[in-house]
Amino acid sequence: MNAEEFRKAGKEMVDYVADYLENIRERRVLPTVQPGYLRQLIPAQAPEEPDSWQQVLQDVERVIMPGVTHWNSPQFHAYFPTGNSYPAIVADMLSDAIGCIGFTWIASPACTELEVAMMDWLGQALRLPAAFLASAGHGGGGVIQGTASEASVVGLLSARARATRRLKQKHPDWLESAVVGQLVAYCSDQAHSSAERAGLLAGVRMRQLQTDNNFSLRGAALRRAIEKDKSMGLVPFFLLATLGTTPSCAFDCLPELGAVCEAEGLWMHVDAAYAGSAFICPEFRPLLDGVGLADSFNFNPHKWMLVNFDCSAMWVKRANDLVDAFNVDPLYLKHDKQGLVPDYRHWQIPLGRRFRSLKLWFVLRMFGLSGLRAHIRRHVALAKLFGELVGADRRFEVVTPVTLGLVCFRLKAKNEVNEALLKQINDAGRIHMVPSKLRQTYILRFAVCASATEESDIELAWGEVRDQATRLVGPPDRL
Ligand SMILES: *Cc1c(COP(=O)(O)O)cnc(C)c1O
């Protein structure tokens, strides 16, 4: 494909993408293919001679689309949203064209400098304390990670390095392995599975602490756990707090937890992967109160802020904690501007990094903060509408408050009945949802996901849930 052919093919692909997104409601949200379906649709080997662009484009519909789960369909209500918007897509085209690997400042100064600036724009939009902003000049700043899981690992490893250093200062004769063996990290029993995984990857204990009746981790529970571990000679060093848990969008109590962490010298990392986008709205910003006590904070613009995957925004108060944990300095990566600007390779696990701030820049400019707030508010209103429809049917109950865009609900019946209901709904394939469990109770999770979701989509979804329930347990008046 030469430049002339690219102009033509690129435009055809743009048309294909626009058609796909405009007509996405016509596609079944969840595919019906069986494992191994794809291998039969393509040759056993790569072609010896090149295929034509037309052949490749045609095969997208034949080979790929039958096996796509349409995350950006307004009938998709599983997990949490994944961001999508035209400004982000065109920004990613440009990022692909520049194709730089921005691991140091000199490896592409614009890549680093736009990221520093965008993380400040975004941090200001969330009204993060100045200590997290690069422009404040106190050693804090933001970085774009690929995912919230990586941000948790980076936070945990940095905390581990800091705690190890402190312990070795106190006990110079201890071996590194003995020091790490004493460390204890905490999260709540509602934390995302990536928290447990971060503990495994870092090789430290990760205790899941019990939450209160609102599925919120409280200061007293953390304090009790710390005291117990200290009495056994262990060294508590890290807390992963969650704002907007995956099972039910619950919020850990940051002001209480932060006070305990501060008193006990724990690193507090805040995972707000989904909920974080809402904090650009003043009415939701109180949910972030207490973040000033955190050492690191993370949320995913690629979930709910119209930025395509991957773009996970992480801020730290002391960038040096990351650099100290991850710094290695081979000669081929050195440059004469070191120290004047961040070399983001020290802030993350991989060396290479894409030009991800471009899509943040395009999205922030082309929606404006007012447009992004309107998007969040519209989704919250749609979730509340769904919650009202569910609540008005006496066969059902909404089990947790609808704070943002997630509705947790169930039939007032045994877990097995609710499991059967969800299976029926997903088998029918008109909408897609996933379950979760709160303590021993099986619930259905309804997340407002696609940016194009409208009231009529919510009504369609409720109609589907209602009709499948009627098939299973009979109409409301029979109960
Ligand atoms: C979605 C989610 C994650 C995982 O996000 P990735 O970016 O895919 O790693 C972590 N924590 C919470 C609370 C989430 O909602």
User: Hey, whose CA ends up nearest to atom 4 of ligand 1?
Assistant: 148
273: Cβ below 6 Å to ligand 1? yes
Q: Give the Å distance between the CA of 192 and the centre of ligand 1.
A: 7
453: Cβ below 6 Å to ligand 1? no
As given in the structure block, the two tokens for residue 240 are 């992963």
Mean pLDDT confidence for 446-463 = 98
Distance CA 77, CA 81 (A): 8
* Residue pLDDT, tens place only, 260-291: 999 999 999 999 999 999 999 999 999 999 99
312: Cβ below 6 Å to ligand 1? yes
* Residue pLDDT, tens place only, 355-396: 999 999 999 999 999 999 999 999 999 999 999 999 999 999
Q: What are phi and psi of 449, to 5 degrees?
A: -115, -60
Instruction: Return the higher-pLDDT residue of 59 and 322.
Output: 59
Q: How many CA atoms lie within 13 A of 34 on its CB side?
A: 1
Q: Which of 285, 222, 229, 296 is nearest to 259 (CA)?
A: 222
Confidence check: pLDDT of 331 > 90: no
CA-based torsion, 159, 161, 166, 170: positive or negative: positive
Q: Give the Å distance between the CA of 279 and the centre of ligand 1.
A: 17
* Residue pLDDT, tens place only, 179-221: 889 999 999 999 999 999 999 999 999 999 999 999 999 999 9
256: Cβ below 6 Å to ligand 1? no
Q: How far is CA 27 from CA 23, 59, 132, in A?
A: 8, 17, 43
pLDDT above 90 as % of the chain: 87
As given in the structure block, the two tokens for residue 173 are 């004769």
Catalogue the active-site residues: 192
386: Cβ below 6 Å to ligand 1? no
Which atom of ligand 1 is nearest to 245's Cα?
13
pTM of the model: 0.95
